[in-house]
Structure 1
Amino acid sequence: MTKFSDLKLDPKVLTAISEAGYETPTPIQAGAIPHALEGKDVLGIAQTGTGKTASFTLPMITLLAKGRARARMPRSLVLCPTRELAAQVAENFDIYAKHTKLTKALLIGGVSFGEQDKLIDRGVDVLIATPGRLLDHFERGKLLLTGVQIMVVDEADRMLDMGFIPDIERIFQLTPFTRQTLFFSATMAPEIERITNTFLHAPARIEVARQATTSETITQKLVQITPARRDQTAKAKRELLRALISAEGEACTNAIVFCNRKSDVDIVAKSLKTHGFNAAPIHGDLEQSQRMKTLDSFRDGSLQLLIASDVAARGLDIPAVSHVFNYDLPSHAEDYVHRIGRTGRAGRKGTAISLASPADEKYLSQIEALVKMEIPRAELPEGFSLSEAATRAPRPRDESEPRGGRSSRSRSSRGRDRTPKESSAPPAPMVPFEPVVAEAPAATPVREDRAERREDRREDRRERGGRNRDNGPAVVGMGDHVPDFILRSFRTTKPAEPTADEVEETSES
């Protein structure tokens, strides 16, 4: 059996490994480290939880032992898809490089540029970054990548899912052609294959497990539920989740609950806390300080249930997770492998329980096709039944209410279309349109009443001598007053033609 002492690592690195309690490398480590130490490009394909981080961290520290970093020119670069994974790589570097003088910098979002600029200005041997923040520093002129000797891309398939591939290609082009590239991924999508063919030079391919396979140390279960009403599916699943956690009892020392949407993460976390569970949410919309605080609480055991979006599904090294619950089945089948890979790590036993409703049938078939097995079905917890609120029939609709569910009139009809029931006075009868002429036709009583009121107002104005005083007979369609200039005639008379005698007199004069 291969041991770390057989891999020609730096003695200081071996000391750190021993102090961390490790003796035997995992298959991906045993396969990748010798090629990396020889300066070859490495393409590592392994499922999550197999120790890929140490596969590139240990040879990097050994290769960088000699040499010195220059200001703003890091000697090596590690790209990670999420802030949490980048922070975890930085922690691993601290553990394995504590007996060396190598320096590092962590460039992630949610942290001020000023502190990161200071580290870069001093010069760092290892730069660990997310693609977006790295390019921000480069475009601000604070960073040069021409001195990169070793470049690592971790969780490349996650980079693809998050849309980072164009950034990765640009970063590759900013680094020297002579660099050594270590490329790690859990799956090999066609786009990932294209990048490796373009930017890696005759890489040593290390594949320690079939792509997208689940670990044999994980016990998988699927619990199906059919709510009485479709609009109560979320409530029914929350009740089932609480029952499943309680049914696991003391065996569930801690667990990660995965949801597809960030809004559901907050709702499920709030629901669990309301019912007495020790739970907290983590997703991309939270402040970085809060996310790190929540992760630290989960790692040290003060937090039992971590309610997460897929931001926590990749690369996070929390070795003692006993359970994973899929509150939602993932829409991408590959994410199922990464999610349940949070448990059963480093040879430990783990349990993964997924909840499914009839609407999840499509996702379930895709997952089972990917992992090439049928997920074992499990019964509902003993004594479990949905609450009355989750099974209550929908409230019958009042026929007097509009179909939109609004009891009040729509905005477009307010003040206009009133039903006889709403109005205190009878509606005015419909009168066919007739053109206005000088002598109005016989009017209805309502019209006569309106006409009398208008005539009274005219009479009042005449008596007060107002501006609308009487100027003669009213003109239909022109109101009560017609300006004088309209009544005047503007016709001009054409002058008579001069006679012959007048023409002669004019010419003689």
Structure 2
Amino acid sequence: MKHRDDARSAHGDPAQAATTRPAPPAAVSFAGLGLPQVVLRTLSGLGVREPFPIQAAALPDALAGRDVLGRGRTGSGKTLAFGLPLLTRTAGRRAEPKQPLALILVPTRELAQQVTEALTPYAEALRLRMATVVGGMSIGRQIAALRQGAEVVVATPGRLHDLIERNACRLARVRITVLDEADQMSDLGFLPQVVEVLDQVRPDGQRMLFSATLDHDVDQLVRRYLHEPAVHSVDPSAGTAATMRHHLLVVHGPDRYAVITEIAARDGRVLLFLDTKHAVDQLTRHLRASGVHAGALHSGKSQPQRTRTLAQFKSGQITVLVATDVAARGLHIDDLDLVVNVDPPTDPKDYVHRAGRTARAGESGSVVTLVPAGQRRETSRVLAEAGVEPAVTKVRSGEAELSRITGAKAPSGIPLDGGPAVPRPKNANAPFRGLGTTKDPARGSGGKSRKAGEARKLAEARKAALVRRNG
């Protein structure tokens, strides 16, 4: 198959061989961007009045059928920037069974569901059928949806690959292909599946790629598959958003549990990031036993569990989401004004994407990173590489300064799940990720035995509390 490499410069940033459009004036309206009346009425009915910069910039080129390379942080309005043109240009066509006409490829199940939810009202207005194809859900139902015919498919690479292998989906009629969060798809090892997809869609079709960064692999995708793309990069990086405040809180080891618990007990929602699934589950249990409405999100949870937890967090039924980096990309939570790195990220890109969960769409927010004094230098280096100069503060639990920065307050101490309150450990020097993993060098080879000791102590404390409560 002939790829479109001849249209690209062989050197430098692919954007140099493309057309970079200046951002339109802020006064641009959706009505002036060439969208059909039925879409405009739907936008108005949903209270969407003015386009975000990335939408105002990208929509004219995308509606004209040009390839688009969009660079900007998550939360900048990318979904409508590619979704409205994709739906508009697909309207009026009918898909044959198993043969979609447009494809949106995303890295995670949560993002796939979020994109589907955001675009469904417009698809319905244009009488287009959508299907969501992700792992962790019934493949039989997805096969049935494709067999019935869907003009637009939103998919994760792994599940789409499985369906192609089963001959349940064919891509030869796909005229418009979107890669959203392309850098994360590369980071997660999905590049072979992405290339497989792009090799199967119509070679003369439209491609739109959105990514926060253009690392080597993403750069290669752009060069190989995008034809003279219009480049739009109108938003600051997540780490430098003007409405985002960054704090590095230096905590004393034995005070760590109390600091985290007081932050979690604040008024308003908070997203806590940790490195491992075990640490997420352990902290969630501790918070709930302390009276904090917390829920856990990581790849070890089933998709229905993950969907339910996210819905509870969005509705306010739970106020604390404790998560691994599965929540660091693509998720949009309205009015989330605090993100906490309980485990400091070791990669600048991880910091940028975690931070991008707050201060979205022009709102303000704070990103707090907890660090023991001994890790301060390394963490400061990571943040500097992410383009961040945080305010550095030494804090202790119960102090006014911790409350000023994070809204921290004492938890109720009333367990939520009927069990006894979990006593605070006498020595919680390790970060939560260190409770049973080898990522904390201070623990050495004794991590497993210490983990067992901590577990025994916790079980004994619970048993004693239960005996006291029952007399």
Identity level (%): 36
Q: Which residue of 2 aligns with 1:295?
A: 310
Distance change in 2, residues 1:363/1:93 (3 Å)? farther
CA contact (8 A) 1:157 1:189 kept: yes
Q: Aligned pairs, how many?
A: 384
Q: Which amino acid aligns with 1:192?
A: V
Distance change in 2, residues 1:363/1:54 (3 Å)? farther
Q: Which residue of 1 aligns with 2:427?
A: 390
Distance change in 2, residues 1:139/1:242 (3 Å)? same
Structure 2: which 5+ residue stretches go unaligned? 1-26, 403-422, 430-444, 448-471
CA contact (8 A) 1:334 1:367 kept: no
Aligned counterparts of 2:66 and 2:425: Cα–Cα separation in 1: 64
Q: Which residue of 1 aligns with 2:5?
A: none
Aligned counterparts of 1:355 and 1:36: Cα–Cα separation in 2: 42
Match of 2:241 among 215, 222, 226: 215
Distance change in 2, residues 1:226/1:22 (3 Å)? same
Which stretch shifts more, 218-227 or 161-170?
218-227
CA contact (8 A) 1:243 1:381 kept: no
Matched, 1:306 2:321: yes
Q: Which residue of 2 aligns with 1:169?
A: 195
Deviations 1:182-240 (A, max 9, x none): 10001111221111001111111111135554321122211112426xxxxxxx43322
Q: Which residue of 1 aligns with 2:345?
A: 330
Deviations 1:102-146 (A, max 9, x none): 001111111122111111111111001100000100001111100
Q: Which amino acid aligns with 1:118?
A: A
**Larger RCO, structures 1/2 (Cα 8 Å, 6+ apart):** 2
Aligned counterparts of 1:68 and 1:391: Cα–Cα separation in 2: 60
Match of 2:262 among 234, 243, 249: 243
Q: Which residue of 2 aligns with 1:184?
A: 210
Match of 1:48 among 74, 79, 87: 74
SS of the residue 1:346 aligns to: coil
Distance change in 2, residues 1:209/1:294 (3 Å)? same
CA contact (8 A) 2:73 2:237 kept: yes
Q: Which residue of 2 aligns with 1:411?
A: none
Query: Over aligned residues, Cα RMSD in angstroms?
Result: 2.2
Deviations 1:57-100 (A, max 9, x none): 11111111121111111000011100000000110111322322
Matched, 1:145 2:145: no
SS of the residue 1:389 aligns to: coil
SS of the residue 1:137 aligns to: helix
Aligned counterparts of 1:222 and 1:28: Cα–Cα separation in 2: 31
- Runs of 4+ off more than 6 Å: 385-388
Match of 1:103 among 129, 142, 155: 129
Distance change in 2, residues 1:9/1:358 (3 Å)? same
Question: What is the TM-score of this pair, normalised by structure 1?
Answer: 0.72
CA contact (8 A) 2:54 2:235 kept: no
Deviation of 1:254 after TM superposition, in Å, equals: 0.7
Matched, 1:76 2:102: yes
Matched, 1:264 2:283: no
Q: Which residue of 2 aligns with 1:24?
A: 50
Distance change in 2, residues 1:173/1:126 (3 Å)? same
Aligned counterparts of 1:169 and 1:277: Cα–Cα separation in 2: 45
Matched, 1:371 2:408: no
Distance change in 2, residues 1:107/1:206 (3 Å)? same
Structure 1: which 5+ residue stretches go unaligned? 229-235, 393-402, 406-509
Question: What is the TM-score of this pair, normalised by structure 2?
Answer: 0.78
SS of the residue 2:125 aligns to: coil
Distance change in 2, residues 1:280/1:404 (3 Å)? closer
Match of 1:347 among 358, 362, 365: 362
Q: Which residue of 2 aligns with 1:277?
A: 292
SS of the residue 2:100 aligns to: coil
Matched, 1:88 2:114: yes
CA contact (8 A) 1:329 1:360 kept: no
Deviation of 1:383 after TM superposition, in Å, equals: 3.6
Q: Which amino acid aligns with 1:46?
A: G
Distance change in 2, residues 1:388/1:345 (3 Å)? closer
